[in-house]
C-alpha cells in the first residue's frame, strides 16, 4: 500500500536562514511518526510547510498521492489533514462544543439563505455535525466540561479541546505539534493514551513533533531526527536511541546556532 504522506527534498529559507534543508520522509497508513531534534532544528517549520501555512522554497509534498505544495490550509483540511499548534489556538470565550463545531466547518454545505433562517437542510446538517462532535467528546472523555468556556479550563484540558477540534475535521493525517508541552505527568499519560487510541480505534495516521522523549520512544513506530534543518537520522525508537549522530546532536556537539524557526501567532 502506498504511503499516506510523502515529502521529497523539502527546503524553506527565511532571508539568509535555511530553516529546512532537503528533507525527505514518508508517513504510512495507520502509523505514528515522530519528528524530534534540538531547539531550532526546523521541526515546526516542517509542520508549517505540510499544513500549508507557507509554501516550500524547494521540494514536493504528496498527500494520498496528490501534490499539495500550493494548496491553502482550508483545502488541506478538506483533504484530511488536521493539526494542533505548539501554542494554544483555542477560542477561549467559546464553549467546548462550540470550539469543536469550528472543526466541522470544512464539511458544512449549508448556503447563506438556509443558514440564516435555519431552514430544514441547515437544521438537519447542524444535528449531523453535533452528533459527530458528541462522539469526539465521548472519545476524549470531556463530557463534564462540554458546555464550559474553554478559557476557564486547565491548560491540559484546553489542549485536549484543541485535539478534539482537529479530530472534528475527520482527518486521515493528524499533525501534533508539541502536544504535551507544559503538561504534568498525569496529563501527558492521558494524551499518550488518546494518541494510541486515535491510531488504533480511528485508524488515523499521526505525525508528531515532540520534545518529551519518553512519549516519543513509547508510542512512535518510526522517528525522524532533524538538526539545523537537515535530517540526520531515521528509524525505530531503538535505532534512534543508539544512533551516534542523534546522541551528538542532543549532547550539544552540533547545537551551536540560533533558532531559525519563526514564531507562530494565532488568535485565541
177 belongs to a structural domain:
yes
Q: With beta carbons less than 8 A apart as the criterion, state whether 56 and 14 touch.
A: no
Asked whether the CA dihedral 155, 156, 161, 163 is positive or negative, the reply is: positive
CATH number for the domain spanning 160: value is 3.40.50.300
- DSSP string over 209-227: E-S-HHHHHHH-SEEEEEE
**13, β-bridge pairs:** 18
| The dihedral formed by the CA atoms of 121, 127, 132 and 137, expressed in degrees to the nearest 10 | 150
3-state secondary structure 147-181: CCEHHHCCHHHHHHHHHHHHHCCCCCEEEEECCCC
Cβ partners under 8 Å of residue 257, min gap 6: 40, 228
56 belongs to a structural domain:
yes
264 belongs to a structural domain:
no
84 belongs to a structural domain:
yes
Number of structural domains (the chain) is: 1
List, for residues 102-112, the tens digit of each pLDDT value. 888 766 665 44
List, for residues 115-139, the tens digit of each pLDDT value. 444 555 566 677 777 888 999 999 9
List, for residues 46-94, the tens digit of each pLDDT value. 999 999 998 999 999 999 999 998 888 888 988 999 999 888 888 999 9
257 belongs to a structural domain:
no
262 belongs to a structural domain:
no
Predicted confidence band of residue 7 (pLDDT cuts 50, 70, 90): very high
C-alpha cell at 45: 517549520
Q: With beta carbons less than 8 A apart as the criterion, state whether 203 and 30 touch.
A: yes
131 belongs to a structural domain:
yes
DSSP class of residue 39 equals: T
Mean pLDDT (whole number) for 231-240: 95
Angle, to 10 degrees, between the axis of helix 155-167 and the axis of helix 120-139? 130
Percent of the chain past pLDDT 90, that is, above it, reads: 66
Average of per-residue pLDDT values in the chain: 86
Residue-range definition of the domain harbouring residue 40? 5-251
267 belongs to a structural domain:
no
Amino acid at each position: 500500500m502506498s504511503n499516506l504522506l510523502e515529502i521529497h527534498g523539502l527546503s524553506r529559507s527565511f532571508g539568509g536562514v535555511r530553516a529546512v534543508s532537503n528533507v525527505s520522509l514518508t508517513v504510512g497508513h495507520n502509523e505514528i511518526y515522530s519528528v524530534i531534534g534540538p531547539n531550532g532544528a526546523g521541526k515546526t517549520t516542517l509542520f508549517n510547510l505540510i499544513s500549508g501555512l507557507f509554501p516550500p522554497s524547494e521540494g514536493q509534498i504528496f498527500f494520498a498521492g496528490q501534490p499539495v505544495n500550493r494548496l491553502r490550509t482550508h483545502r488541506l483540511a478538506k483533504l484530511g489533514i488536521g493539526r494542533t499548534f505548539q501554542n494554544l489556538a483555542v477560542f477561549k470565550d467559546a464553549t467546548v462544543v462550540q470550539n469543536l463545531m469550528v472543526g466541522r466547518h470544512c464539511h458544512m454545505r449549508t448556503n447563506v439563505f438556509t443558514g440564516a433562517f435555519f431552514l430544514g437542510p441547515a437544521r438537519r446538517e447542524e444535528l449531523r455535525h453535533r452528533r459527530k462532535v458528541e462522539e469526539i467528546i465521548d472519545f476524549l472523555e470531556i463530557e463534564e466540561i462540554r458546555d464550559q468556556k474553554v478559557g476557564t479550563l486547565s491548560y491540559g484540558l484546553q489542549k485536549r479541546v484543541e485535539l478534539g477540534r482537529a479530530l472534528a475535521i475527520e482527518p486521515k493525517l493528524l499533525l501534533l505539534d508539541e502536544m504535551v508541552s507544559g503538561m504534568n505527568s498525569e496529563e501527558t499519560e492521558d494524551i499518550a493514551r488518546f494518541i494510541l487510541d486515535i491510531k488504533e480505534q480511528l485508524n488515523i495516521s499521526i505525525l508528531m513533533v515532540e520534545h518529551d522523549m519518553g512519549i516519543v520512544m513509547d508510542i512512535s513506530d518510526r522517528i525522524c531526527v532533524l538538526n539545523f534543518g537537515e535530517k540526520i537520522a531515521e528509524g525505530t525508537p531503538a535505532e534512534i536511541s543508539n544512533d551516534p549522530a542523534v546522541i551528538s546532536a542532543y549532547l550539544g556537539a552540533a547545537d551551536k546556532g540560533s533558532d531559525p524557526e519563526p514564531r507562530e501567532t494565532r488568535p485565541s
